[in-house]
Amino acid sequence: MKGSLMQEAVLITGSSSGIGMETALFLAKRGFRVYASMRDTSRSKPLRDAARERDVSLSILSLDLTENKTIQQAIEQIRCESGGLFALINNAGIQVRGFFEDIAEEEMRTVFETNLFGTFAVTRAVLPLMRKARKGRILFMGSLGGRIATMGSSAYCITKFALEGFAEALYQEMLPLGIHVSIVEPGVVRTDLFGRNRTFAKRALDPGSPYARWLRSLESLTDEWVASRTMQPGAVARVVCRALESKRPRLRYVLGPMAKSLVLGKRYLPMDFMDRLYAKGLWQKVESQGLAEKNDRGIPNG
């Protein structure tokens, strides 16, 4: 890595697994002074073990995006140990899957508190350090779901769409201060978000829900899509590193062939046409998946 960035401090939220963990390891290997944060440090063993295997050192911090006290404590520790902070990577996020009517208000608020207001809080906390240094990088982990929404993921997509607007506004505000803002937008990545961290609204799979059968088909399709995708967290980590090391980082980084194709389609095709095409195609797949599952169980068609 460039000598001028050697041992620059980087804070990463949501580092216990997936993209956050891989990014922490990758940046530590590149010579950054990495502070890998997570809500529950009892889940840090996989990260510690991986750091030992790759022969890298990093610091693990307790940081809960919904608890401002932990944010302030983490930033103060970084300030005392490193004298400042070069980069913040806003990676932490949660989801609750289900059709909108099945998602209770408190479930929706929980997603917003972490994905949006928690991200606002930690970003606000680091800005004084970066303004003082007249330099810094703020990266948001967005998603294809922040550019093109998908049914069954309304809570997640809404917050990712909001991050797009936040990143764009902050990018403009930080321009004269030497602070660069970027948002990374990967397509489907094989992470625990589609595994042990896949969370459903309480009512989402209830047989009494009018949407339950569609959601089951959609989840089956999702499993197939994830299994067929080759993009791993390491690919995202490399793009994050590129944004940190670039003299002129871009505002947006889109990753993955499917994501790039859909974003280009939405850019160049008439908006109404693209929206109808995507929705119709998705519904056809959901209905076909549900029919196939019925046939697999020996249930007659019709």
Which sequence positions are flagged as catalytic? Answer: 156
Please tell me the distance from the alpha carbon of residue 248 to that of residue 242, in angstroms, as a whole number: 10
Residue count (the chain): 302
- Kindly give the residue spans of alpha helices, DSSP state H, lying in the chain: 18-29, 45-54, 68-82, 105-112, 119-133, 154-174, 212-228, 233-245, 257-268, 271-296
Burial of 49 (0-12, 13-18, 19+ CB in 10 A): exposed
Please tell me the distance from the alpha carbon of residue 33 to that of residue 46, in angstroms, as a whole number: 19
Q: Is 38 helix (H, G, I), strand (E, B) or coil?
A: strand
